[in-house]
Structure 1
Amino acid sequence: MNADRREMFAAIVYKHQQDGRRIRQATLNRICSTLRSALNAALREGLIVENPVALLVMPAAWQPRAVVWTAARVERWEWTGERPAVAVWTAEQTAAFLHAIRGHCLYAVYHLIALCGLRRGEAAGLRWVDVDLEHGTATICQQLQRRNGRLTACPPKTAHSARVTALDRTTIAALGAHRDRQQAGAAAYGDRCRDSGYVFTNLNGDPVSSGRFAHVFQGLLAEHRPPPVRLHDLRHGAATLALAAGLELKVVQEMLGHSSIVLTAGTYTSVLPKLAHTAAEQTATHVLRAGWRVPGTRRRRRPAGPRGRLAAARAGGRSTAVPAA
């Protein structure tokens, strides 16, 4: 039986290789998980007596961690062309890119993903009925996916992905300007333009595919030459910049539509060096301040010797000496 299961997954990999496509281990793991879930349902219904993949152990999928385009990484990329598998821009790099493309017809979608962390399918599936510019919210209740060659409205990726996202004033302004441009374009196009209700549309009113977003994004990168990232990395960047701005993990989890705060923490908290430096400074300060006080009291230690008294005088009477063990 184990041989049959291994043969099945080997056939899946072989088929993708024959088609010139690469299949990731994470995709194979999801296939296994879906199969296990379906067979468990059959087991509960009494259709089978055991789940043949219940004990199947799949190799762990390697998931690259996002890193920030620091000045050193940018210099190395410019010199050697080396780039991380997953990278995010700093706040300054994000702002510079958005400023550079502010006149583009799809500016609003990149602004929305970069600041609010939407998945590209969620942005493609956004409708005006889901957007409340007056109160600054966007309801994420569907995504657009290409299936059998056609764009199809589908449920969000997970149940937790259905959410209400708060919009800041700059995003509200970007969406408002985009709506005005869309309405002017529809009037110029005439009766041939249909009202599909989607926020991001082609000239004829049909929704724009998420693949089109990615294709145009790569063209904008080639034109303006920022450090290279993928479109999905703008979502990573929104999360890391929100954490750097001081938002709590729970808030960022809700913004992204993650089902677990563990996923949010494991993916993003190690990305920005600023966060790690802040944590290190807070830890050191806590330890040093503990050394200033007499154990069990709030009274500060008396400086030991002339050097200690001099340091205390310079610090305004406060000793920073850590007591000897």
Structure 2
Amino acid sequence: MGSGTACGVAGSCRVPRQNRHDDNLLGNDVDPATAVVTVGQWLDIWLEMRQNLSFSTRRLYTQHVRDYLKPYLGSVPLRSLTVARVQAMFAALIRTNSSRARPLSYATLQRIRGVLHAALNGAIRRGLLDRNPAHWIELPSGRRPRAVVWTEGREAHWRETGERLAVAVWTATQTAAFLESSFEHPLHVLYLLVALLGLRRGEAAGLRWCDIDLDARVLQVSHQVQDHNGRTVICPPKTESSVRVLALDSISVSALRSLRAERRRGLPAGAALTGFLFVNQYGNPMSPGYVTHAFRKLIAEADLPPIRLHDLRHGAASLSLAAGNDLKVVQAMLGHSSIVLTADTYTSVLPCLAHRAAEATANLVMKAARRTAKKVRRHSRKATRHYGTKKNRRPGSTRKSAHKIRA
């Protein structure tokens, strides 16, 4: 856990330049027709030119370039890059990673292709390449894994086979068990806020005391912290909609008051509490990587089904929907830019939501059926009073003739 570093101008955290020997290739006096540039060199140059990337996006692009693109394509001359060569790289990635415990997902393969495609488009614009080989790449079809709940049956299957779910959330009971078992841990309040408010990991780790008003019972998300090269850097939230003000429930307020009282011990009387809520031994913001590491250990100690820390955020949204909160409210809580994303991700998670919808539909039909039955009985009673029963009806009279007379 390194020292905190402020982010750069205009909300983007710049990564120090690491390829100054390639700077001559950025000049306008370079003839694209004669320049000999490898794919690896161009990827480095392209990343240098993309100064408008957010910190998290730059980190993701850099990771894909370092871990996947350069090892397979880095030494290939840019002009010699072919569709077959790129397709072979993806075949090797799929083959190599299939043997791992957690192989590359379809979404990750698509992102790797997207980074390469964008970089090669940049090379085309500078006259270093005639066409984009990544455009014709075929990847295996796949669907984004849907979140499911750790039901008793799934938990029993996991305990028997060790088979994990790709994306899973805890039930309310399992969430409560985790929060109870982690009560004495220094990061207990952080996990509580993620579980109840759906904060992202970096948002929770980056909370400052000035972001919280316990009297007004609100919390403001205005930035996040991320890990980069052994340092913890402070950056803007993921998107514009991620900047938000959240209402605090009584449990969160109580936990934050206790944490504040604990932090104030040793301070001079009346001194204001400043800085971050969750800090390391040096007083710097807690590394998100450590937050995840501690979370995994606490799950194992509590003997609960495994989930990712991000799944705790999924669980907050799912439980909020199960509690009857409106989808728009959940969208605002999560900081989603689109309600479609919220609906697509969470409405199919908890069985109780489906049961509630099924019951509502059935109740609607049954209410309509009861209203119809009442009308029929009312009409029958009126007809009986008007025509008389079969027993006291006048000889020779019929319902039909009576109806004609009445008409």
For the criterion TM > 0.5, the same-fold answer is yes
Pairing of 1:118-267 with structure 2 (within 5 A):
118-184=199-265, 197-267=275-345
Paired amino acid for 2:325: L
CA contact (8 A) 2:149 2:169 kept: yes
What corresponds to 2:191 in structure 1? 110
CA contact (8 A) 1:138 1:167 kept: yes
Paired amino acid for 1:242: S
* Distance in 2 separating the partners of 1:33 and 1:54: 9
* Distance in 1 separating the partners of 2:240 and 2:141: 24
* Distance in 1 separating the partners of 2:369 and 2:125: 61
**TM-score between both structures, scaled by the size of structure 1:** 0.75
Give the 3 Å change call, closer, same or farther, for CA 16–70 of structure 1 in structure 2.
closer
Instruction: Confirm whether residue 272 of structure 1 aligns to residue 347 of structure 2.
Output: no
**TM-score between both structures, scaled by the size of structure 2:** 0.62
What corresponds to 2:27 in structure 1? none
Give the 3 Å change call, closer, same or farther, for CA 22–198 of structure 1 in structure 2.
farther
CA contact (8 A) 2:209 2:274 kept: no
CA contact (8 A) 1:196 1:207 kept: no
What corresponds to 1:302 in structure 2? 377
Of the three residues 89, 107, 116, the one matched with 1:26 is: 107
* Distance in 1 separating the partners of 2:237 and 2:251: 25
Displacement of 1:139 in angstroms is 1.6
Give the 3 Å change call, closer, same or farther, for CA 160–47 of structure 1 in structure 2.
farther
CA contact (8 A) 2:209 2:275 kept: yes
Q: Which has the larger radius of gyration?
A: 2
Residues 112-164 of structure 1 show CA distances to partners (whole Å, capped at 9, x for unaligned) of: 00000111111112222222222122221222111122111122222222222
**SS at 1:121 equivalent:** helix
* Distance in 2 separating the partners of 1:54 and 1:128: 48
* Distance in 1 separating the partners of 2:117 and 2:159: 46
Gaps of 5+ in 2: 1-81, 381-407
Gaps of 5+ in 1: 189-194, 306-325
CA contact (8 A) 2:198 2:333 kept: yes
CA contact (8 A) 1:196 1:205 kept: no
Q: Could you tell me the percent identity over the aligned residues?
A: 52
How big is the alpha-carbon RMSD for the aligned residues of Structure 1 and Structure 2? 3.7
CA contact (8 A) 2:87 2:137 kept: no
